[in-house]
Amino acid sequence: MESVELAFGGTSGIVVLLAYGGLMLAVGLITFLRNRNIHESLDEYYLGGRGLGVMVLFFTFFATQYSGNTVVGYPPTAYRIGYQYLVSVPFFIMIIAVYLFFAPRLYAMGRRFSLLTPVDWIDIRFKSKAVTILAATLMLYALGNYLLEQFVAIGQGVSGLTGGTIPYQVGVVFFIVIMVAYSWLGGMRSVAYTDTIQGIALLFGVFMLLIGSVIYFGGPSAAAEVMRSEAPEKLGAPDGGGVAHWFSLLAIVGIGAAVYPHAVQRIFSARSEATLKRSFIRMAYMPFITAGVVFLVGIIGIAAFPGLTTGESEQLVGRIANALALENPLFYWAMILLFGGVIAAIVSTADSVLLTFSSIVSNDLYGRFIDPQAQEHRKIMVGKLIGLVAVVVLVIIAWYPPSTLYQIFVLKFELLIQAAPALVLGLYWTSLNSRAVFIGMLAGTLLASTMTFSGWKPLGVFSGLWGLSLNVAVCVIGSLLLGVTREARAHAVEVIGEY
Amino acid sequence: MKRKSKEPVKSPLVWIVFVVVFAAINPWYFPAGSFEPLIWGVPYWAWIILAASLALSVFVTWVVCCQWDMGADDDIGDDHGQDHGEG
């Protein structure tokens, strides 16, 4: 992947990044000083004491969904395939729509059983060591890969913003140290507060990018004239294959992103049902001013920089930002802030992922199977340290990207959504058999991984969805064939039957 | 104990509206390759998809406001009697 080179970045870029890093550390420190007791309780550390209010909850959901990749990676795709990438607007709304089908009950369960992680719920529901460990492993593996991707993006973003003045590796280490420091100091609270700052920086930068692009390159009309004469397929409605691709993106992003462990954990962090509801309503309209805006930037790029190759188009946002920065000082600073915001957005996605990673280690593996008697303080410490070890290993991998076995680092969504049937079906169906759930999860994982490695994508539908279909089929048919024991059903009724 | 609650997943109306809106946000109902008329340089079908997407957002608002009331916090007050402050 090419990084974005901003020739104008240099010193101003370094100043913005240092200021940004300092601000994040300050947030961590203030949170730490105001909440001295958070390291004594898993709830306080990982869920902010289940007390996040509407705005903070909204921005932390926002930062979890929109990463730097949304800003840097989406416009090039819109540039290459044109209006068929408009799907990026409804797919972000789909995530919220999918929540509606399980979050109300999951939130209620979270309150009732003081759930800390999605694995916690799976464990209470199925009381099966095998299911719990498999779900935790899938989540940790996928979260690890997700974190790796963010680290690589931080390094590339930093070296791009500073025109190479700060090398890739220095950028990665600098931001990871800051991220780990403020996460350790304030747990979920600092992560959520920094998410808020990061979200605002990103929104500001993206809007300036759009305004500048419209002023200096012309709006969608200019782009439409170029497309009409040179590439009418970028304007046209999709054909059969295009519709299948559109549909499977909606389905996999909608389901996949809704069951992200770090997203589920945010459901548990809400102060109240009303808070969660209000945050969801706000999130439902955000795609128009986030994904919609970056999409439009990509479309305008078609007129501004016609004829880029695929590799060149990856740097589209950098090229537009460079051109705008040369126009006047306002845009110069706005573009510096934009790239600061992009890096901020990547860091804010990474911190959420790291915190959830640590919480699964603390609570679901160490606290459940290794030392259940341990004090919460100790569980938090173990989660932090193993999280740190994971970070170090991932940084080494990000430093020396492996040339072979590359694909094992690609699996994320494909694996995460295999936990969805246990998580969601388990909420509603008391006859769900835990052995069927385990076999379904395993079969779905193997199928999705094999298909990803071989690049096989029948009917244009993603491997993760094929895995999920097999997984659901095994869960349902297996449960119908095997049935459930009287005790298992009584337990399920006791857990979920109240509703 | 059954408690009085309203849950989106249990409402047939929610499912029906969702299926209709989901069908509308997939661009299967336009002739492939068509883009005229362009309105402000944006193809007609893209406007329709955006309108359908807005309908999905409105759907979310409606469900959250009118179909979701689990009373999930009711027993919290009884059990713990504490209000969590924010940081």
From A61-75, A155-169, A191-205, the region with the lowest mean pLDDT: A155-169
Would the CB atoms of A285 and B57 count as touching at under 8 Å?
A: yes
Confidence grade of residue A409 (pLDDT, cut at 50, 70, 90) = low
Contact between A65 and A254 (Cβ < 8 Å)? no
Q: Does the pLDDT of residue B86 top 50, yes or no?
A: no
Q: Flag if B64 and A271 touch (Cβ within 8 Å).
A: no
Q: Report the gap between the CA of B51 and the closest CA in chain A (Å).
A: 10
Instruction: Count CB-CB contacts under 10 A for residue A385.
Output: 13
pLDDT surpassing 50 at residue B87: no
Is residue B23 within 8 angstroms of chain A, CB to CB? no
Partners of residue B69 in chain A, C-beta under 8 Å: 273
Q: What is the pLDDT of residues A130-187, one digit of tens each?
A: 999 999 999 988 888 888 888 877 777 777 666 667 777 788 888 888 888 888 888 8
Out of A83, A250, A498, the one facing B25 most closely (by C-beta) is A250
Spatial separation of the C-alpha atoms in residues A352 and A252, rounded to whole Å: 21
Chain B contact set for A57 (CB, 8 A):
none
Domain count across chain A: 1
Higher pLDDT, B74 or A34: A34
Please spell the DSSP secondary structure of A15-35, one letter per residue. HHHHHHHHHHHHHHHHHHHH-
pLDDT for A285: 93
Binary contact (A223, B41; C-beta < 8 A): yes
Domain regions of chain B by residue span: 8-69
Q: Is the peptide bond before B12 cis (omega within 30 degrees of 0)?
A: no
pLDDT value, residue A417? 87
Domain annotation covers residue A197: yes
CA dihedral of A242, A473, A100, A72, whole degrees rounded to 10? -40
Q: Which residue of B has its CA nearest to A284?
A: B57
> pLDDT band for position B80 (50/70/90)?
very low
Measured in whole angstroms, the distance separating CA B52 from the mean position of its chain's CA atoms is: 11
pLDDT of residue A477: 94
Find where tokens 């090229």 sit.
A319
Q: Which domain covers residue A205, as residue numbers?
A: 10-403
| A330-379 pLDDT, tens digit each | 888 888 888 878 888 888 888 888 888 888 888 888 888 888 887 888 88
Q: Which residues on A lie below 8 Å from B18 (Cβ)?
A: 97
**Does residue B25 surpass a pLDDT of 90?**
yes
Residue of B nearest to A282 (CA): B61
Of B7, B9, B30, the CB nearest to A237: B30
Within 8 A of B53 by CB-CB distance, chain A residues are 89-90, 93, 287-288
> What is the value of ipTM here, to two decimals?
0.84
- Determine the Cα–Cα distance for residues A346 and A245; give it in Å rounded to an integer: 26
Helices and strands, counts by H and E, chain B? 3, 2
B59 touches chain A (CB under 8 A): yes
CA distance A428 to chain B (A): 10
Specify the pLDDT at position B77: 42
Per-residue pLDDT band at A254 (split at 50, 70, 90): confident
* pLDDT of amino acid B58: 96
CB-based contact, B39 to chain A, within 8 Å: no
Nearest CA in chain B to A223: B41
> Picking from A50-54, B19-23, B67-71, B76-80, which range would have the lowest pLDDT averaged per residue?
B76-80
- The pLDDT, as a whole number, for residue B18 is 94
Among B32, B71, B87, the residue with its CB nearest the CB of A238 is: B32
Positive or negative torsion for Cα A130, A472, A105, A353: positive
Please give the residue that has the higher pLDDT: either B67 or A166. B67
pLDDT band at A204 (very low <50, low <70, confident <90, very high): confident
Flag whether residue B60 sits within 8 Å of chain A, measured between CB atoms: yes
Residues of B in contact with A292 (CB under 8 A): 50
CA distance B48 to chain A (A): 11
> Could you tell me the end-to-end alpha-carbon distance of chain B, in angstroms, rounded to an integer?
35
Chain B residues touching A235 at Cβ < 8 A:
35, 38, 43
For B6-16, what is the mean pLDDT?
91
Q: Given a cut of 70, is residue B16 above it in pLDDT?
A: yes
Q: What is the pLDDT of residue A87?
A: 92
> Among A108-122, A129-143, A484-498, which stretch is predicted with the lowest mean pLDDT?
A484-498
pLDDT score at A338: 82
pLDDT at B31 over 60: yes
Whether the per-residue pLDDT at B56 is higher than 90: the answer is yes
How much is the pLDDT for B17? 94
Q: Is residue A344 part of a domain?
A: yes
pTM for the complete prediction? Answer: 0.83
pLDDT of B57 reads 96
Q: Decide if A273 is inside a domain.
A: yes
User: B38 - beta bridge partners?
Assistant: B43
The whole-number pLDDT of residue B81 equals: 35
Q: State the pLDDT at residue A132.
A: 92
- What is the CB neighbour count within 10 angstroms for residue A311? 10
Which of A7-16, A147-156, A202-211 has maximum average pLDDT? A202-211
Q: What percent of chain A has pLDDT over 70?
A: 94
Mean pLDDT across chain A = 84
In the predicted structure, residue A196 carries a pLDDT above the cut 90? no
Q: What is the CATH number of the domain that holds A216?
A: 1.20.1730.10
More confident residue, A482 or A8: A482
- Report in angstroms the alpha-carbon separations of A183 from A264, A400, A401, B42: 18, 26, 26, 44
> So what's the pLDDT on residue A209?
86
Q: What is the pLDDT averaged over residues A467-489?
A: 90
d(CA A479, CA A428): 14
Least confident of A50-64, A293-307, B4-18: A50-64
pLDDT at A7: 54
